[in-house]
Amino acid sequence: MGLIELKDIRKTYVMGDIKLPVLKGITMSVEKGDMVALTGVSGSGKSTLMNILGCLDRPTSGEYWLDGEEISRLSNDGRADVRNRKIGFVFQNYNLFLNKTALQNVTEGLIVARKMHKAEAIEIGKKALDKVGLSDRYDYYPSQLSGGQQQRVALARALVLEPGVLLFDEPLSNLDAKLRVSMRTEIRRIQQATGITAIYVTHDQSEAMALSDSIIIMNKGVVAQIGSPQEIYYHPNSEFVADFIGEANFLKGKCVALEDGCGVLQLADTQVRVAATENMTLGEDYTIVLRPESAGLVPEGNLKCRVVLSCFMGAYQNYHVMVGDTLVKLTDYNPKNHRIYQVGETCALTFEPDGVHVL
Ligand code: ADP
Ligand code: MG
């Protein structure tokens, strides 16, 4: 059994006569020490699920097991108790006490909620601030700290309470792009160093990939897919997931032959070989997912295309090509000594049979 087990969690908001089902049967588990990214477009129910996970709200039905205890039916007081003992939060508005220093913010919970002696709390608080890179900011007030530093204080404050699970709800969305990237690396490093179990909500797919042992993708109140970043990227179970995590091209074709573990698909007036799936059947229509970096351009070949965009991005050359009337996006990494195709050129698209995923 995982540290967290959700079984068929449902939540319906009732507003007068209107019933709004927001979570429609969520089942998932989180192993101790794992970091799970919960992602999906805005309105898919991520925050609603986090409020249930954080014991701030109750599901309409379903079971929530935390550390061997079913807690979804507890009274408000019971849930508040679980929340205080076992759950830490890091939100996007840091909720720091503005009239307290960084160190006082971090030690407050230890002294007030945990009744720890001040001297001991200060020692622990300083260590936590050191761990998040703020050893020279103990006595600064939130107004004297940058957004990133405030978020670090919020993280240190959650960590000192040693919660069973740490919940992050879009904690970096108030920070600028560069800082977000360095903070997410930092959060992952600290999570791995402390071995803490964490659930991290983000609508940013690269953040979800960079941070997590596994990703849960939600769509309209249901789980679209759960898996490691690699599983989700290489083996998405739907166009929705393929499109949500990473960039994806979709090519559609009929299976016209099966040979040597490959399926041959008829795409417009040409045939391509793809690694066959278990149930691949002659005569059926399939969609293949082609990642931009899995395809290349060659001067001649049977999958003819025309270049409509050719753009140097430093680390890669970005191409858009038309294959018939389908737009395909590709990235050619490290293009320094590669042949560069120009807009208007006719060439051919290639990929390895196992470089695509068949839906
Ligand atoms: P996300 O965090 O993925 O953006 P939310 O969980 O915040 O999504 O919201 C999911 C849906 O539930 C939205 O349509 C939202 O309007 C609705 N919703 C959220 N909270 C409430 C509430 N307290 N009462 C009624 N509807 C709500
Ligand atoms: Mg939200």
What's the gap in Å between 40 CA and the centre of ligand 2? 10
Locate the DSSP E strands across the chain: 4-15, 18-30, 35-39, 61-66, 69-70, 87-91, 165-169, 197-201, 214-219, 222-227, 249-259, 262-267, 270-275, 285-290, 295-298, 304-312, 316-323, 326-333, 346-351, 356-358
> Would you report the helix, strand and coil content of the chain in percent, each value rounded to 5?
30, 35, 35
pLDDT tens-digit series, residues 52-100 = 999 999 999 999 999 999 998 889 999 999 998 899 998 877 689 999 9
Locate the DSSP E strands across 180-294: 197-201, 214-219, 222-227, 249-259, 262-267, 270-275, 285-290
Neighbour-count burial for 288-297, b at 16+ CB within 10 Å, e otherwise: bbbbbebbbb
Nearest CA to ligand 1 atom 21: 13
For 154-162, what is the mean pLDDT?
90
Instruction: Give the length of the chain.
Output: 359
pLDDT above 90: residue 314:
yes
CA atoms within 13 A on the CB side of 216: 25
Average pLDDT value for the chain: 93
Whether ligand 1 lies within 6 angstroms of the CB of 41 is answered as: no
What's the gap in Å between 231 CA and the centre of ligand 2? 25
- Highest average pLDDT, of 117-121, 179-183, 244-248, 263-267, comes from 117-121
- pLDDT bucket at 104, cuts 50 / 70 / 90: very high
Whether ligand 1 lies within 6 angstroms of the CB of 44 is answered as: yes
Instruction: Please report the pLDDT score of residue 178 as a whole number.
Output: 84
- pLDDT bucket at 220, cuts 50 / 70 / 90: very high
* Nearest ligand 1 atom, CA 44: 3
pLDDT above 80: residue 337:
yes
| d(C-alpha 172, C-alpha 178), whole Å | 11
Whether ligand 1 lies within 6 angstroms of the CB of 47 is answered as: yes
- pLDDT bucket at 114, cuts 50 / 70 / 90: confident
pLDDT above 90: residue 177:
no
- Alpha helix segments (H runs only) across 195-228: 205-211
SS (H, E, C) 131-147: HCCCCCCCCCCHHHCCH
Instruction: Please report the pLDDT score of residue 319 as a whole number.
Output: 97
Identify the residue whose tokens are 């699970």.
Answer: 165
pLDDT tens-digit series, residues 247-279 = 999 999 999 999 888 899 998 788 888 988 888
Ligand closest to 21 (CA) is: 1
Whether ligand 1 lies within 6 angstroms of the CB of 59 is answered as: no
The percentage of the chain sitting over the pLDDT mark of 90, rounded to a whole number, equals 75
Instruction: Output the six-digit token pair for 174.
Output: 């108030």
pLDDT tens-digit series, residues 317-336 = 999 999 988 999 999 999 99
Instruction: Please report the pLDDT score of residue 268 as a whole number.
Output: 78
| d(C-alpha 94, C-alpha 78), whole Å | 26
What's the gap in Å between 13 CA and the centre of ligand 1? 9
The percentage of the chain sitting over the pLDDT mark of 70, rounded to a whole number, equals 100
Instruction: Output the six-digit token pair for 202.
Output: 């983000």
* Residues, beta carbon < 5 Å, ion ligand 2: 46-47
pLDDT above 80: residue 170:
yes
| d(C-alpha 188, C-alpha 182), whole Å | 10
Instruction: Please report the pLDDT score of residue 106 as a whole number.
Output: 96
Nearest CA to ligand 1 atom 11: 43
Instruction: Please report the pLDDT score of residue 277 as a whole number.
Output: 84
Nearest CA to ligand 1 atom 20: 48
Nearest residue to 321 via CA among 304, 336, 339, 338: 304
pLDDT tens-digit series, residues 123-146 = 999 999 998 889 999 999 999 999
| d(C-alpha 343, C-alpha 121), whole Å | 64
Whether ligand 1 lies within 6 angstroms of the CB of 20 is answered as: yes
92 compared with 159, residue with greater pLDDT: 159
Whether ligand 1 lies within 6 angstroms of the CB of 19 is answered as: no
Nearest CA to ligand 1 atom 6: 45
Ligand closest to 41 (CA) is: 1
